[in-house]
Amino acid sequence: MRRRVTALILIAGTMIVLYGGHSFYIANKNPLLSDNSQVINTHKLPPQKHFEKNWETIKNEYYDSGFNHQRWSKWRNHYQNKIKTADDVKVATETMLESLNDPYSRYLTKDEFLKQRTSITSKIYGIGVSIVNDAGKIKIINIIDQTPAQFADLHSGDIILAVNGNDVNGLSISEVSNLVKGPENTLVTLDILRGQSKITKQIIRKEIAIKSIKSQVEDKIGYIQISSFISSTVPNEFLEALENTADTKGLIIDLRGNTGGLLSNAVFLANLFIDQGRLVSIVGRNGYRYDVTAKNTNLNIHKPVVLLVDQTSASATEIFAGAMKDYHRAKLIGTKTYGKGMVQKIIPMPNETGLNLTIAKYLTPHGADINKTGIAPDIKVHFTKNDVETGTDAQLESAKDMLNKIILSKAQ
């Protein structure tokens, strides 16, 4: 299996690491884990009041009560009676957040907040292709099955020249994505270069079902690839993958390129393999700590597991990998993970905007703080340029070898 090329999908916006807490594994007993990110705050406030509400929310919710060694009141005083427009709110709030030296906390405009919610619900409207920027050209590298792009006979390798008459030369893939996406059942026109021929395609946008998990079986080994923990459909998708691989003797779970998603998804998956004990600890403001513990699911999986990880495996992915490693429930192969041990909460704010705010950090079950350090694999194997050129995958082959050895040792 050739490793999946990381690309921006035109049916999705930029997906950042999210925090979510609704699951029967994570009860509302813990104030850190309450989550109302699905709610849009339609309350209208004038710009100055809106800014002050943002200031107050950060003051009350941000995990570092020292605010990066500064008096938080200075920002309210600095912008008093100076906020006149929505742009002023955005600039002032972003300036405050930048002072925290926290790359994960940010202000969400109305459009950005909507994209966050869409990422979680997986209700995406577009055409169904993946693109990359290839030497300045926007190239289609994948057509998703049963989507408008496939029905319109778009091909992998097609180069997008224009969208609805707008030349895409010099635009980022995110900007091209925003041009292509739109309301369901509306038309988008693409000018395509295929070889030496220019082609124009009119395509009707539709809702695209994004699957985060793929599975297959080879020689009694189950392979499950989890590309993201963002979607609320991940638990059901993973249970389906387990059913598809039920007749195997071991599992390889591929977490490479998975930048994270919902905390509740990571906890759900970990609890399938770990039936008792602490799965993750959430440490909030002033040292408040909440331990998320395993529950009896009657679905515990006891077959051997190998996890594939790399430097882009982050956040919720590291929660899952950290729990599996701490309990010796899986062997990790690949390279050190990213090291994002902070928890964000999406907070709806007035005027349909929001804050993506760091409210806590997490620790692995054995108390390790992996922020900025990552999780080291049990066996380090790099994915090399030679793998790309030859279509091989040294990391995956190492995982197969290790899993077969474990299976053989258990059989003796």
- Residues with a catalytic annotation lie at 315, 326, 340
Q: Which residues contact 408 (CB under 8 A, 6 or more apart)?
A: none
Residue 155, classified by CB atoms within 10 Å of its CB into exposed (0-12), middle (13-18) or buried (19+), is middle
CA 359 to chain centre: 18
Look-up of token digits 């290790």: 402
Alpha-carbon gap, residue 25 to 11, rounded angstroms: 31
> Angle formed by the axes of helices 263-273 and 234-244, to 10°?
30
Q: What is the largest CA-CA distance in the chain?
A: 76
Phi, psi (rounded to 5 degrees) for 222: -90, 135
> Angle formed by the axes of helices 86-98 and 47-61, to 10°?
20
Look-up of token digits 């693409």: 190
Phi, psi (rounded to 5 degrees) for 269: -65, -45
CA terminus-to-terminus distance, the chain: 30
Closest CA to 303 of 222, 240, 402: 222
Q: What DSSP line would sit under 72-104, residue for residue?
A: THHHHHHTTTT--SHHHHHHHHHHHHHTTT-TT
Alpha-carbon gap, residue 387 to 380, rounded angstroms: 15
Residue type, 177: S
CA 226 to chain centre: 10
